[in-house]
Amino acid sequence: MKKPKGLEKGDKVAVVSLSSGILGEAFAEHQLKLGSDRLTELGLIPVFMPHALKGMDALDKHPEWRAEDLKEAFRDSSIKGIICAIGGDDTYRLLPYLMEDDEFIENVQTSPKLFTGFSDTTVNHLMFYRLGMTSFYGPNFLNDFAELGSELLPYTKTIIKGFFAGHELKGVPASDTWYEERTDFSKEALGTERVQYVEERGAEVLQGKSSVTGKLLGGCLESLVECLTGERYKEQAEMIQTYTIFPSLDEWTDTLLFIETSEERPTPDKFREMLTVLKNYGLFEVINGILVGKPQNEVHYEEYKSILVEIVEDKTLPILYNLPFGHAYPRCLLPYGIETTLDTENKSLTFNESYFN
């Protein structure tokens, strides 16, 4: 895998809207300013790409604009990192504009850049994985940098620091706190703190007694399954197949699969159905272990645990549950393609190699 360089103070970072165009809506102006100010306080120079603030309707109608922003971010040698504005549900529509552009592919492979986001961004990550570039399943602009509280969440500060050269994280830090998702994102909510709880459970080993290693690969469960089924958008599965975005079983072999559920908080039945899709694909027969993010607001927390063990069947396959990544708060960074150890005894994840060049 080609790895990016760590960020330095004074670096320009591009903000791109590859999924929803919500960042450009008037009702998000306070978040736009807050996130921009936070990036500046971190010593970075935010660059909002030409179409990033066009709004939801325009970007829905013009996926090629979204793709052009990403291509320009890779063309511009002064831009050192790329932060996704937020997720959505149709970033797959960018694939023809990106995967049929030889210049873009060459730029990704010869000048890799730090790229971070989660949720629907899973598809972008799988594309970069296909192109051989390490990217980060982690913080995005609206959910993390524009956190409405008086400051960044303490854990978020630790994770963002890990994007800077010389401060590389050695694994996934444990969090002693978890937070509820907000229901009010209005300007009136500025300065209000999230409802928080003591993290009493910590990481849980659901099964498997041996420590295992493997390269990190995965994403949002709904996005992964949609790549295979096209349940929501038939053309998504077709595009994924056309551009071979979803890894083959050979590519999944000996990896550590990481999965997490979205803000839709799927019912236990839906969770079972989605895991069954991955099982039928053959994933659970070839991977070395499974990492599972905390469900948002701990909804269906216990039900998901029993369903995981039921569907996986192989009792020797290690499953580490309730990790701080994905749609729950706070969230860590997971670097795609990095050799990682899942330690069942210490209930921890350790990166065995640098995620920076």
Same domain? 43 vs 138: yes
Same domain? 140 vs 225: no
Of the pLDDT bands very low, low, confident and very high (cuts 50, 70, 90), residue 305 is very high
Of the pLDDT bands very low, low, confident and very high (cuts 50, 70, 90), residue 174 is very high
Of the pLDDT bands very low, low, confident and very high (cuts 50, 70, 90), residue 182 is very high
Q: Is position 172 within any domain?
A: no
The residue range of the domain holding 260 is 177-351
Q: Is position 65 within any domain?
A: yes
Same domain? 220 vs 114: no
Q: Is 226 exposed, middle or buried (0-12, 13-18, 19+ CB in 10 A)?
A: buried
pLDDT in the model for residue 338: 98
Over range 233-239, report the average pLDDT: 95
Of the pLDDT bands very low, low, confident and very high (cuts 50, 70, 90), residue 313 is very high
Q: Is position 45 within any domain?
A: yes
pLDDT in the model for residue 6: 98
Same domain? 182 vs 149: no
Same domain? 209 vs 66: no
Task: Indicate left, alpha or beta for 244 from its phi (over 0: left) and psi (-120 to 50: alpha).
Answer: left
Same domain? 215 vs 102: no
CATH number of the domain enclosing 120? 3.40.50.10740
Name the pairing type of β-strands 339-343 and 212-220: antiparallel
Same domain? 118 vs 49: yes
Task: Indicate left, alpha or beta for 119 from its phi (over 0: left) and psi (-120 to 50: alpha).
Answer: left
Are 121 and 129 a contacting pair, CB within 8 Å? no
pLDDT in the model for residue 33: 98
pLDDT in the model for residue 285: 98
pTM of the model: 0.98
Q: What average pLDDT does the chain have?
A: 98
pLDDT in the model for residue 42: 98
Q: Is position 213 within any domain?
A: yes
Q: Which two tokens stand for residue 285?
A: 């027969």
Over range 80-103, report the average pLDDT: 98
Q: Is position 271 within any domain?
A: yes
Write the CB contacts of 134 (distance below 8 Å, at least 6 apart in sequence). Answer: 1, 2, 3, 4, 112, 128, 335, 336, 337, 338, 355
Q: How far apart are CA 224 and CA 208, in angstroms?
A: 24
Of the pLDDT bands very low, low, confident and very high (cuts 50, 70, 90), residue 43 is very high
Of the pLDDT bands very low, low, confident and very high (cuts 50, 70, 90), residue 140 is very high
Same domain? 255 vs 321: yes
Same domain? 242 vs 301: yes
The count of structural domains within the chain is 2
- Give tens-digit pLDDT for 56-68: 999 999 999 999 9
Of the pLDDT bands very low, low, confident and very high (cuts 50, 70, 90), residue 349 is very high
Q: Which two tokens stand for residue 117?
A: 């986001």
Are 325 and 332 a contacting pair, CB within 8 Å? yes
Over range 235-261, report the average pLDDT: 98
Q: Is position 3 within any domain?
A: no
For 278-281, which contacts have Cβ atoms below 8 Å and span 24 or more sequence positions?
A: 278/224, 278/225, 278/228, 279/311, 279/312, 279/313, 281/228, 281/249
Same domain? 334 vs 185: yes
Q: Is position 63 within any domain?
A: yes
Same domain? 99 vs 221: no
Give me the percent of the chain exceeding a pLDDT of 90: 99
Q: How far apart are CA 234 and CA 333, in angstroms?
A: 30
Over range 304-332, report the average pLDDT: 98
3-class SS at 307?
helix
Same domain? 208 vs 343: yes
Q: Is position 5 within any domain?
A: no
Domain boundary among the residues 92, 118, 153 is at 153
Rounded to a whole number, what is the distance in angstroms from the first to the last CA of the chain?
A: 10
Over range 312-317, report the average pLDDT: 97
Of the pLDDT bands very low, low, confident and very high (cuts 50, 70, 90), residue 206 is very high
CATH number of the domain enclosing 266? 3.50.30.60
Over range 278-304, report the average pLDDT: 98
Please choose, from the candidates 130, 74, 134, 143, the residue with its C-alpha nearest in 3D space to the C-alpha of residue 104. Answer: 74
pLDDT in the model for residue 17: 98
pLDDT in the model for residue 333: 98
